[in-house]
Amino acid sequence: MKRMKWLAGAALALLINVPLHADQGIIPLGQLAARAGTILIGHVTATRQVDGGTYLMSVAVEQTLKGTPQESVQIVASSVDPTDVRPLSAGMRILTFLDARTLQPVAGEHGVQTLSGDDAVRVVSAIVRTELAKGADLQLRDVTPYFTARETPPVLLASLLEELSAHVTPSADGEQLARFACDGSVMPAVQLWAIGESGQLQVAAARPCLESLVKDPSNRATRIAATTALGDLRMSESVPVLLTLIAPLPGQQISARGDEDLPEVRPASDPEDDSSPVADPDERGGQATVDDERPGTPSTLPDGDVEPDSVPTDDAQSRRSDAGLSDAAVLALGKIGDPAAVRDLFRVASEGDDLSLHSTVVVALGMIGGDSVVDPLSSISRTHPNELVRELASQTLARLQANR
């Protein structure tokens, strides 16, 4: 099974397959345009090797979107230096953001973006010209027509959405964001962005849409994003829907006892080791990784999608196979802070052997706080088989009691 990563806050880069360097991330389009003294659309006429892995690309200019018009430019590329632009073959059409003095690309992959054809040229030209004309006054409605244009280069789209995040507001854009969150006509990256913004801006009108996405097992990426957004909305009405995502694992017994008689925590196995269950960001906690060496990794389909949640896995007694959906649900319930979720959260800490998820439960209980979490945290601190989970519960309980 292939390794799949679900990045909270960076899920966008995954879904639109943006190969950005970790030290650069996604640069807002406004910043990118400001850094470039010249912005051109053109096509590569020749690429020749200069020395070792260094190449020189000759580019014939078709449009000058910013700066002094040029007939042609020469761009240095490298096949060995990951910080440089990669060499492109003759005939490739590109959008390039160039430094005013050197006429070399700014910001790595942001600086040279390949275009698939005339439609891509048209869309890219319109987006960049709109950004240059509007500047700090850019609004969502100015670029809405381009959200269905699948010819848009992934990096440019990511930059545009990052720019819009600084401009959208609940009052002006809430209704539009809610529509994009459930609109199958927009590109997947736009939908994921709209889902995230709906949560962070607390667009209450998006709740029915987000809950419907949570219930839909056909797209795990939107399901996780919608779960996170419901947590950001902090509306107790969403608790029943979120609880369905942490229903008991097959074969787990459900205690009929009341909250006043909490069972001891007894996971299916006890991987009592020295590694912290929350130390590896590639496993859990906002950025979840399902490693191909771990049981239950979701299979990838030929088109790169992930199999629906209903597909059987080889890890029936663990939630690792859901690629972080359980973590997202647990944290969302913690953010909402409704004591009604406490008993189910406590139950999750006694199921399976996923120590990262058990630790996330402790964090969520700490976020809820109040009298309802004292007994569950006390029980976990005394009876959970893993020392690190016990210690986390003890520290969380001590912190809550100190703040009372």
Full DSSP string of 151-168? TS-HHHHHHHHHHHHTT-
Q: How far is CA 372 from CA 240, 338, 364, 381, in A?
A: 18, 10, 12, 15
CATH topology of domain 29-150: OB fold (Dihydrolipoamide Acetyltransferase, E2P) (2.40.50)
0.85 surpassed by pTM: no
Please tell us whether the domain made up of 245-402 is placed in CATH 1.25.10.
yes
Domain span(s) for CATH 1.25.10 in the chain = 245-402
Q: pLDDT over 70 for what percent of the chain? A: 77
From the list 308, 389, 387, 395, the residue with the least C-alpha distance to 348 is 389
Q: How far is CA 115 from CA 43, 80, 92, 159, 180, in A?
A: 9, 23, 7, 16, 25
- Please report where in the chains the tokens 């002006």 appear, as a residue: 172
Domain span(s) for CATH 2.40.50.120 in the chain = 29-150
- Residue 36: what pLDDT? 96
Q: pLDDT over 90 for what percent of the chain? A: 65
- Residue 323: what pLDDT? 81
d(CA 185, CA 207): 20
- Residue 261: what pLDDT? 55
Which comes out higher in pLDDT, residue 285 or 391?
Answer: 391
- Residue 184: what pLDDT? 77
pLDDT band at 127 (very low <50, low <70, confident <90, very high): very high
List pLDDT tens digits, range 170-228.
999 999 999 999 887 899 999 999 999 999 999 999 999 999 999 999 999 999 999 99
Q: Which residues contact 250 (CB under 8 A, 6 or more apart)?
A: 316, 317
pLDDT band at 403 (very low <50, low <70, confident <90, very high): confident
Q: How far is CA 396 from CA 49, 301, 326, 349, in A?
A: 59, 41, 21, 15
- Residue 151: what pLDDT? 87
- Residue 179: what pLDDT? 93
